[in-house]
C-alpha cells in the first residue's frame, strides 16, 4: 500500500508520525490564530476532526457532536480542532453561526489533508475523518471514513482517548 504524503492514497495509520503543520484558524469568537500541530501536542493529545464543508448538515452534525463533549475532552487534556479546505472567511461565518468551542483550521490548498492521506480526489476536498495525535506527533487513533451518525464510531474514538 502507498504511504501517506503528497499524493498518498492511503490514510495515515496508528503508530505513524503525523505530519507537522502550521495553518490559520478561526476560533469561536471569530478571532484568527495560527495552529501548529507540534506545539499543540506538547499541551496534550489532539483530536483532528477532518470534515468536507462548512455549513453542510452532515459536517455540522460531526462538529456539533464533539462540541457537545468539549468539556469532557478538554478536562481529559484533549485539544479539538476542525480542519478542512474552506477559507478563513467561510470558517468565520460558520463559527458566527454555530460557535464551536474549538478552532476551525483552514488548509486552503489541501496540503495537510493530502499529507494525512485524507484527500477525496473525486470531490477535491477533505474526507470526513478523525485522527488522534499524541506526544511526539504519534498517531494514536484513526477513523478514515468517519460518519457522525455512527454511534459505535464515537464510542471507538472516546475509548481510544481512554474516556470509556
Query: Could you tell me the residue ranges of all domains in the chain?
Result: 22-160
Residue 62 near residue 148 (C-beta atoms within 8 A): yes
pTM of structure: 0.93
For domain 22-160, the CATH class is alpha beta
pLDDT of residue 164: 77
pLDDT of residue 6: 41
User: Residue 148's Cα: distance from chain center in Å?
Assistant: 13
pLDDT of residue 81: 98
d(CA 99, CA 143): 25
pLDDT in tens, the chain (164 residues): 344 544 446 999 999 999 999 999 999 999 999 999 999 999 999 999 999 999 999 999 999 999 999 999 999 999 999 999 999 999 999 999 999 999 999 999 999 999 999 999 999 999 999 999 999 999 999 999 998 888 888 899 999 998 97
pLDDT of residue 153: 86
pLDDT of residue 162: 87
User: Euclidean distance between the first and final Cα of the chain, in Å?
Assistant: 32
pLDDT of residue 9: 66
Residue 133, beta-bridge partner list: 46, 139
d(CA 50, CA 82): 6
Amino acid at each position: 500500500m502507498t504511504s501517506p504524503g503528497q499524493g498518498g492514497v492511503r490514510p495515515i495509520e496508528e503508530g505513524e508520525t503525523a505530519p507537522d503543520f502550521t495553518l490559520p484558524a478561526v476560533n469561536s469568537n471569530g478571532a484568527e490564530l495560527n495552529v501548529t500541530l507540534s506545539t499543540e501536542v506538547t499541551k496534550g493529545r489532539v483530536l483532528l476532526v477532518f470534515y468536507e464543508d462548512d455549513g453542510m448538515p452532515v459536517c455540522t452534525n460531526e462538529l456539533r457532536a464533539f462540541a457537545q463533549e468539549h468539556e469532557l475532552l478538554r478536562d481529559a487534556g484533549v485539544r479539538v480542532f476542525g480542519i478542512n479546505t474552506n477559507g478563513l472567511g467561510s470558517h468565520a461565518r460558520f463559527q458566527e453561526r454555530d460557535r464551536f468551542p474549538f478552532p476551525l483550521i483552514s488548509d486552503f490548498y489541501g496540503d495537510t489533508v493530502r499529507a494525512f492521506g485524507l484527500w477525496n480526489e473525486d470531490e477535491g476536498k477533505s474526507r470526513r475523518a478523525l485522527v488522534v495525535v499524541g506526544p511526539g506527533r504519534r498517531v494514536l487513533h484513526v477513523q478514515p471514513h468517519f460518519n457522525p451518525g455512527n454511534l459505535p464510531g464515537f464510542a471507538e474514538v472516546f475509548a481510544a482517548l481512554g474516556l470509556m
